[in-house]
């Protein structure tokens, strides 16, 4: 059966179940279970969705059936009502499931971030002057001043600034990095690759330079708290950008425009999750990472716990729902 024949054959069934689901959601107190054939229609829809995936029908057909199945499930079981429920469902189920569904690209993005950082660390350790290939001398001086031992705050100087103001600054900085890394995917993925590699090189160079000048302890106790959220979110933003690039390079049976539009709906949802992680990182950075009142050991332990938490979240969350 061709995709067009498939659509023509079942179009009326899809319209019928969509109409029933719309009526139920418009009247939340109405029980769809009273409509005798609705559960059967829902099961048939799920079978048609599985068939479309198995036969590799065009993505727009699969996407339409997937959305309709979710819509019908919501109407049948009364799940996901209200904005808070949507946010909760996304955080606890949809986001980690999306990441695991495209886990290959996530590991590609992670390697593009961490391998250049490791390589640059070795290079700057052997030839310290190469730090100036990424930063000018004035920036290096400011960097050393931010992490000089014995200061009242680690990071940006705060003679008149407050933690709240720095929170806003970190939000702007983090989100701009994440958006640039994602949007670069529109250049056939090359922009995302360049952003990931550059951020990796920069982090490796900074970490190694500060270690060489004896500022390793302030620097690492500053970054360890928020690094799990920030670095993972940057990798996720790159992963979303690579999704866009892959859609443009290998659109399959669709036109490039159709493939890009379909993939962008998935990629944007990943970016939503990455943006939330960047907000969490900015909060930790402003109110926890910068303080010197907490012992370094406590910061390292909390940082390690947060890395374990982030890893467990993407590994286990949403499995039951899936």
Length of the chain: 322
Phi, psi of 153 (to 5 degrees): -135, 145
Exposure string over 94-129, b if 16+ CB within 10 A, otherwise e: bbbbbbbebeebbebbbebbbebbeebbebbeeeee
- Taking only the tens place, the pLDDT of each residue in 102-153 is 999 999 999 999 999 999 999 999 999 999 999 999 999 988 888 888 766 6
Task: Please give the pLDDT value at position 29.
Answer: 46
How much is the pLDDT for 34?
A: 45
Q: Please report the sign of the dihedral spanned by the C-alpha atoms of residue 255, residue 261, residue 266, residue 272.
A: positive
Q: Which residue has the higher pLDDT, 34 or 35?
A: 35
- pLDDT (mean) for 171-192: 94
What's the pLDDT at 293? 83
First to last CA, the chain: 29
pLDDT digits (tens, 9 = 90+) for 48-88: 898 888 888 888 888 889 888 888 887 776 544 456 777 88
Distance, C-alpha 128 to centroid of its chain: 34
Domain ranges of the chain: 3-81, 98-316
**Residue 316 forms beta bridges with which residues?**
none
pLDDT of residue 252: 82
Tens digits of per-residue pLDDT, 198-247? Answer: 999 999 999 999 999 999 999 999 999 999 999 999 999 999 999 999 99
pLDDT at 157: 54
For the chain, where are the alpha helices, taking DSSP H only?
A: 3-26, 38-54, 59-77, 83-89, 95-101, 103-126, 137-146, 163-183, 190-212, 216-223, 227-249, 256-284, 296-316
State pLDDT tens for residues 265-292: 899 999 999 999 999 999 999 888 888 8
Q: Which of 230-239, 254-263, 311-320 ranks highest by mean pLDDT?
A: 230-239
Nearest-CA neighbor of 75 among 138, 36, 25, 13? 25
The candidate with the shortest Cα–Cα distance to 160, out of 172, 148, 150, 152, is 152
Spatial separation of the C-alpha atoms in residues 223 and 218, rounded to whole Å: 9
Give residue 148's pLDDT: 84
The pTM assigned to this predicted structure is 0.73
Please give the average per-residue pLDDT across 177-205, as a whole number.
Answer: 95
d(CA 192, CA 176): 13
Task: Please say whether the beta carbons of 15 and 8 come within 8 A.
Answer: no
**Mean pLDDT in the chain?**
86
């Amino acid at each position: 059966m061709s995709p067009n024949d498939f659509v023509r054959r079942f179009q009326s069934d899809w319209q019928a179940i969509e109409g029933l689901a719309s009526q139920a959601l418009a009247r939340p107190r109405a029980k769809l279970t009273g409509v005798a054939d609705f559960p059967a229609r829902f099961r048939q829809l799920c079978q048609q969705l599985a068939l479309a995936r198995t036969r590799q029908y065009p993505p727009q057909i699969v996407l339409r059936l997937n959305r309709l199945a979710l819509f019908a499930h919501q109407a049948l079981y009364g799940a996901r009502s209200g904005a808070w429920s949507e946010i909760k469902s996304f955080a606890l189920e949809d986001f980690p499931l999306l990441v695991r569904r495209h886990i290959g690209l996530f590991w590609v993005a992670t390697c593009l971030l961490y391998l250049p950082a490791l390589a640059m660390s070795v290079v700057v350790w052997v030839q310290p002057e190469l730090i100036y290939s990424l930063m000018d001398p004035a920036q290096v001086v400011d960097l050393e001043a931010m992490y000089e031992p014995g200061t009242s705050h680690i990071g940006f100087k705060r003679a008149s600034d407050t933690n709240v103001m720095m929170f806003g600054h970190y939000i702007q900085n983090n989100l701009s990095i994440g958006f640039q890394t994602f949007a670069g995917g529109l250049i056939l993925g090359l922009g995302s690759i360049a952003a990931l590699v550059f951020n990796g090189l920069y982090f490796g160079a900074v970490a190694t330079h500060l270690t060489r000048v004896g500022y390793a302890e302030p620097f690492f106790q500053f970054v360890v708290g928020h690094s799990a959220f920030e670095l993972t979110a940057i990798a996720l933003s790159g992963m979303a950008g690579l999704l866009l690039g892959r859609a443009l390079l290998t659109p399959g049976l669709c036109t490039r425009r159709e493939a890009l539009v379909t993939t962008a709906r998935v990629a944007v949802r990943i970016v939503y999750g990455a943006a939330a992680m960047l907000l969490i990182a900015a909060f930790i950075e402003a109110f926890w990472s910068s303080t010197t009142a907490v012992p370094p050991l406590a910061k390292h332990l909390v940082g390690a716990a947060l890395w374990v938490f982030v890893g467990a979240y993407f590994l286990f969350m949403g499995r039951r729902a899936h």
